[in-house]
Structure 1
């Protein structure tokens, strides 16, 4: 535990933090956990890079809806890269120490990317709202340029809020412990190690900003999908209802995957239902990383155009490999006959 004394002998400031991970995990399972986390990270990287490369390489997929998927995939990829390597190295190599400013940098990106996801889901809901509720105006209101601008705003809005949160937390004096009871640095885990009268004020202010970033988009998302459901129910034929619903099924799955686990944890805490420390860490890790790992699968299997493009690419590459092997076989036969 590295500390340096400031002000007087009774006041110390933390110079580094220790990532605790799962406190109740026996050492004999460290290798298994690190392997699972590595596979999760590999899934996040391969899945989201595949989505990004597929959309950008196919002009037919460069549409507003798929551009939103790309922004979400980039966000998920960045989140996994920010959080997982450190906890993997803890269980794989025993490296659990993170520098003071390194921990604050990780905390910034954890909360910033979470807030960006919330606003990108709002843009996604807006796209489907206009497509289904105002179909005749969709080509005018929703274009690639407009969607790119809206996604840019989604990346921009949380930035000053998260910088404010970081600066407030940096002003606190950290003199309790330097152990982070979590798999990565987050605001609550860090500020819990602070001392002084300002800690509660900072935590309440941060909670208010977090609720703004979470609930404001959620309110519009609920309104959008409720309006979409009303429009779908008014369609006379069952085939028409199914076809219309299928155009927004991926978005609904992705939105539920992001919001429902968070709402469950918040409601459980509000009504006084407490979790053990290990359970709380597992729940937070699940609702943080599961969407990033599962979203690419939802894009592929619930979005017809992406699925068809991937199948076509797979068949083309397989056919190309067969042709190459056949050509090589013919050339070998010619050489041996000579």
Structure 2
């Protein structure tokens, strides 16, 4: 039987980091703004390099392009509001806007998990089935996989919002977090959370463990395939092609798995520590990922150096002439 919405809450208030003293508000807002600025510049640079260099129009870089777009959208969904919380002491967010933010937080998180699945698939086919790689991972197939990821990821977050929005919110409107998410909102509902939290937990596990199970399988298969290579140099070369993706995948999955496992084995954190951990694994990868591409991926690195040199050497030549 649906719960009638007799909510008396018209807006929510994001606390950010609960134990933070007001004297540090300016510093925190400046730090968060710096993270957002670097994230935007780095990911826009990746998109620009892809758009201006046809040598990057390969399956792996189409996947990276999707990840950069998703990182930009996720950071834009979450960071501006929490920056304003500390910069302008404006932590309030309207009832509906909070649920919209919740939807996009979970949606973009799901899209990233599917994109990392594609990364693992790319390396699995390239190393374990190299003869099939060019036939299976064509540009058209990557496009189909990417579109499927962006569309399929809508279902579960939409279900969470549809089930959580009508709940009665008639008590506190304080969300102890830096952005609206399912747990942060539904704990404020004046009703039993069990019918709503269990499907949310199943959704989180499917989203997290589904792609992760294939990623673990693919890298185990890669290790087995690499061990069959006769010379050491060949093994190292094969493994080096996986290093970029493995670092990115680890940044996304390891902190999340740690938080889920810690909560299940009885390890508890203070509210501030928990929020710091969540912010680190939510906002650090979008900022760090482009740096990893440009440092570890040869084609991306060469493309970046080419653009840098063309804009530094050419003005110098004009000056000399």
TM-score scaled by length of structure 1: 0.92
1:192-225 superposed Cα distances (whole Å, 9 cap, x missing partner): 110123x221111111111111111111111011
Shift in Å at residue 228 of structure 1?
0.6
Q: Specify the SS of the correspondent of 2:238.
A: helix
* 1:204-251 CA-partner distances (Å, limit 9, x unpaired): 111111111111111111101110111111111111011111111111
Which residue does the alignment assign to 2:161?
A: 166
Q: 2:204 aligns with which of 200, 205, 210?
A: 210
Gaps of 5+ in 1: 1-5, 328-338
Query: Are 1:103 and 2:98 an aligned pair?
Result: yes
1:318 matches 2:302: no
* SS of the residue 1:306 aligns to: helix
Q: Could you tell me how far 1:325 is from its partner in structure 2?
A: 2.8
- Give the secondary-structure state (helix, strand or coil) at the position aligned to 2:8: strand
Could you tell me how far 1:324 is from its partner in structure 2?
A: 3.3
Q: Which residue of 2 aligns with 1:278?
A: 272
Aligned counterpart for 1:178 among listed residues 173, 180, 184: 173
1:24 CA displacement:
0.4
Question: How many residues are aligned here?
Answer: 318
Answering whether residue 69 of structure 2 is matched by residue 52 of structure 1, we say no
Equivalent pair of 2:170/2:190 in contact (CA under 8 Å): yes
2:147 matched to 1:152?
Answer: yes
Q: Equivalent residue of 2:154, what SS?
A: helix
| More contact order relative to length (CA 8 Å, sep ≥ 6) | 2
User: Which protein has the larger Cα radius of gyration, Structure 1 or Structure 2?
Assistant: 1
- Asked if residue 292 in structure 1 is aligned to residue 274 in structure 2, the reply is no
- CA offsets per residue over residues 136-186 of structure 1, 9 Å max, x none? 111111111111111111111121111111000012111121111000111
CA displacement 1:13-62 (0-9 Å, x = unmatched): 21101110011001110011001101100111001110011012100000
| Unpaired runs of at least 5, structure 2 | none
Match of 1:233 in 2: 227
The equivalent of 1:301 in structure 2 is 295
4+ residue stretches of structure 1 with deviation over 4 A? none
Partners of 2:158 and 2:84 lie apart in 1 by 28
Give the TM-score normalised by structure 2: 0.97
| In structure 2, C-alpha distance between the alignment counterparts of 1:148 and 1:298, rounded to whole Å | 23
Residue 323 of structure 1, CA deviation = 2.8
Q: Deviations over 1:256-283 (max 9, x none)?
A: 0000000111111110010000000000
Q: What is the CA–CA distance in structure 2 between the aligned matches of 1:12 and 1:151, rounded to whole Å?
A: 39
Match of 2:81 among 75, 78, 86: 86
Once residues 290 and 71 of structure 1 are traced to their aligned partners in structure 2, the CA distance between those partners, rounded to angstroms, is: 17
